[in-house]
Amino acid sequence: MLKNLIRSLIMLFLSMPVFASASSNNLIADFAYGIPITTTPDQVLYKFLLPLSVYQGVVYQDLRDIRVLNVQGESVPYSIRFVQTVQQPVKKITLPLFPIYGVNSASSDNMSLHVERNQQGAILQVTTNNQPKSSQEVSAYLVDASSIKAPIQSLQLTLPTGQTSFIRSVNVQYSDDLKQWQTAVENAPIASLKEQDNTLEHNEITINNQQAKYFRISWPATDNPLHLSQVTAALSQQVTSAEPHQWLTLNASADKPVDTWLFDAKAYLPVDTARVIFPKKNDLLQVQLFSRNSIDDKFRYQQSSLVYQLQNTPQNRSLDISLRLNTDRYWQIKTANQLPQDTAPQLSLGWVPQELVFIAKGEGPYTLVYGNAAATAVSFKVDEMITQLEKQNGQSLIIARANLGEQKLLGGDKALQPLINWKQWLLWTVLIVGTLLIIWMAARLFKQMDN
């Protein structure tokens, strides 16, 4: 009796249709949204950038619920890849250098100078207003960086040949008007050591992407004068993408003064840059940036930065915050102090859209579909095929650019909802019923043995 019942349940289980699994043909109705793809004729490979609507419409963070379908509704081979980046070499520029004589200028209050500049702000001549320079030692150097319109990573000092070995420290300050000076770095070590045929030099001072018109290099008044023959600016190295960044600005709100602000991107964007913007000008705040994938996860630290937005300055806001590539949906900003409601910041997320490459299998027109809670991950290895073909041919493959139309509603919200896995539920029912039957039969057997 029990054996016949279990056999009947198993046969029923095997005959059930697999409601939870996606159809092998990936029918269009299985996906919430679709975008028509326009292609040129007689090409094998096509590519396009994923639009914002795709990142907003997918169910899964790893983009597993994306497909490209041909006119028959069949999924064609495709790969999603990151757009190639171009790393710009470090650019070095020799800057005009002016020695300052007389009183040590580590303190700006004691510095009395006459500076001649042209209409562009470039320094023409620097003289002291005290004694003639022939009777004084060099107390500092003024460096003219007014021609540079980019952040400077470091200053490289060139020392005259024939100097004796030394280890010492210098200070670097910066200014845009030669009146108000701020410290870029203090006690930066520099060295020039020589021993027989061996030479060791450390003459680079890192100033962390500082952008200013003028720099001042000085040293403690008790130290001997430092003689420089040249100062070279190493501009910050830039890694640029072949495609421009796109930006999505998010707003936060609060009912009372807070130090924590929450943001929902409502998309799984490949973010690598962020901007924090506060509504009030002339403000300076230290912020920390966190993110998480799910609302149930804990926030993970991403980056901290000094954020400012000033008026009437050439660089009126802080630099963009560089991040490790991150596809989290939820973001958080923390400030050192509580802020009132009307100072709620905006968070702008920057990303370079990923590129989808597909093989024109079957007949067109083709459709990009996405948003399917029942979709499983697939791997067609189109990228691997392209790499092998390029090695064989010794040149890059020509991949035609495809164009995308407007988003259309397909399966809608129904495709975004998790389907009930009837097969799994039936399997558990069979196991539970079978276990209960075994327990019941065992209990009857023990009862008969007692009698």
DSSP sequence for 208-235: EEE--SEEEEE--TTSPPP--SEEEEEE
Characterize the bridge pairing of strands 97-101 and 138-144.
Answer: antiparallel
The rounded distance, in Å, linking the Cα atoms of 225 and 139 is: 6
Q: Give the pLDDT of residue 8.
A: 45
Q: Which residues contact 297 (CB under 8 A, 6 or more apart)?
A: none
- Residue 421: band (very low, low, confident or very high) from pLDDT cuts 50, 70, 90: low
Q: What digits encode the pLDDT tens for the residues 209-264?
A: 788 889 999 998 888 888 888 999 988 766 666 688 999 999 986 666 688 899 99
Q: Which residues are paired to 266 by β-bridges?
A: none
Task: Compute the C-alpha angle 75/79/85, nearest 5°.
Answer: 155
In a domain, 363, yes or no: yes
Q: Give the pLDDT of residue 29.
A: 85
Q: Which two tokens stand for residue 263?
A: 């943001």
Q: Higher-confidence residue: 65 or 166?
A: 65
Q: Which of 173, 15, 196 is nearest to 100 (CA)?
A: 173
**pLDDT score of 368 more than 90:** yes
Using an 8 Å Cβ cutoff, are 301 and 251 in contact?
A: no
Query: Mean pLDDT throughout 143-150?
Result: 86
The phi, psi pair for 100, rounded to 5°, reads -110, 130
Amino acid at 230: Q
DSSP-assigned letters across all residues of 281-320: SSEEEEEEEEEESSTTSPPEEEEEEEEEE-SSSSS-BPPP
CATH of the domain at 267: 2.60.120.260
Whether residue 252 sits in one domain with residue 298: yes
Domain count, the chain: 4
H or E element that contains 216? strand 214-218
Whether residue 360 sits in one domain with residue 223: no
Rg (CA), the chain: 34
Which of 351, 379, 398 is the C-terminal boundary of a domain? 351
- For the whole prediction, is pTM greater than 0.85? no
Query: Mean pLDDT throughout 267-287?
Result: 86
DSSP-assigned letters across all residues of 318-372: PPPEEEEEE--SEEEEEEEEEE-GGG--EEEEEEPPPEEEEE--SSS-EEEEE--
Q: How many CA atoms lie less than 13 Å away from 270 in the CB half-sphere?
A: 15
In a domain, 99, yes or no: yes
Look at the block and give the residue holding tokens 């009862």: 447
Task: Measure Cα distances from 374 to 187, 210, 413, 415, 423 in Å.
Answer: 61, 50, 13, 8, 14
Characterize the bridge pairing of strands 300-309 and 283-292.
Answer: antiparallel
Q: Higher-confidence residue: 17 or 40?
A: 40
Q: Which two tokens stand for residue 105?
A: 């200028």
The rounded distance, in Å, linking the Cα atoms of 215 and 171 is: 10
What proportion of the chain, given as a percentage, has pLDDT over 70? 79
In a domain, 268, yes or no: yes
Range of the domain at 435: 1-20+421-451
Whether residue 262 sits in one domain with residue 337: yes
Query: Residues 182, 188, 192, 198: is their CA dihedral positive or negative?
Result: negative
Q: What digits encode the pLDDT tens for the residues 82-139?
A: 887 666 667 889 999 888 887 554 444 445 555 665 655 565 565 555 545 555 688 8
Whether residue 283 sits in one domain with residue 233: no
Using an 8 Å Cβ cutoff, are 403 and 48 in contact?
A: yes
Query: Mean pLDDT throughout 341-370?
Result: 91
Whether residue 383 sits in one domain with residue 278: no
Q: Give the pLDDT of residue 16.
A: 40
Task: Measure Cα distances from 327 to 9, 55, 287 in Å.
Answer: 44, 10, 21
Most confident of 78-92, 176-190, 265-279, 339-353: 265-279
Give yes or no for a cis peptide into 365 (omega within 30° of 0): yes
Q: What digits encode the pLDDT tens for the residues 45-59?
A: 999 999 999 999 999
What proportion of the chain, given as a percentage, has pLDDT over 90? 33
Whether residue 161 sits in one domain with residue 74: no
In a domain, 87, yes or no: no
The phi, psi pair for 32, rounded to 5°, reads -70, -40
Name which of 16-30, 188-202, 249-263 the model is least confident about: 16-30
Q: Give the pLDDT of residue 11.
A: 41
Whether residue 163 sits in one domain with residue 150: yes
In a domain, 367, yes or no: yes
In a domain, 142, yes or no: yes
Which of 237, 255, 277 is the C-terminal boundary of a domain? 237
**pLDDT score of 170 more than 70:** yes
- Residue 9: band (very low, low, confident or very high) from pLDDT cuts 50, 70, 90: very low
Task: Measure Cα distances from 140 to 98, 102, 161, 380 in Å.
Answer: 9, 9, 19, 64
DSSP structural state of residue 165: P
Using an 8 Å Cβ cutoff, are 361 and 77 in contact?
A: yes
In a domain, 86, yes or no: no
The rounded distance, in Å, linking the Cα atoms of 187 and 208 is: 15
Name which of 39-43, 97-101, 346-350 the model is least confident about: 97-101
In a domain, 206, yes or no: yes
Q: Give the pLDDT of residue 196.
A: 74
- Residue 445: band (very low, low, confident or very high) from pLDDT cuts 50, 70, 90: confident
Which of 216, 237, 258 is the C-terminal boundary of a domain? 237
On average, the pLDDT of the chain sits at 81
Whether residue 228 sits in one domain with residue 109: yes
Helix 2-15 to helix 422-450 angle, to the nearest 10 degrees? 180
Whether residue 298 sits in one domain with residue 162: no
For the chain, the residue count is 451
The rounded distance, in Å, linking the Cα atoms of 333 and 305 is: 11
Using an 8 Å Cβ cutoff, are 90 and 153 in contact?
A: yes
Whether residue 343 sits in one domain with residue 365: no
Q: Which residues contact 208 (CB under 8 A, 6 or more apart)?
A: 153, 184, 185
Look at the block and give the residue holding tokens 């975004």: 416
Name which of 132-136, 205-209, 322-326 the model is least confident about: 132-136
Whether residue 112 sits in one domain with residue 72: no
Whether residue 320 sits in one domain with residue 256: yes
Look at the block and give the residue holding tokens 């996906």: 31
Most confident of 133-147, 193-207, 262-276, 327-341: 262-276
- Residue 31: band (very low, low, confident or very high) from pLDDT cuts 50, 70, 90: very high
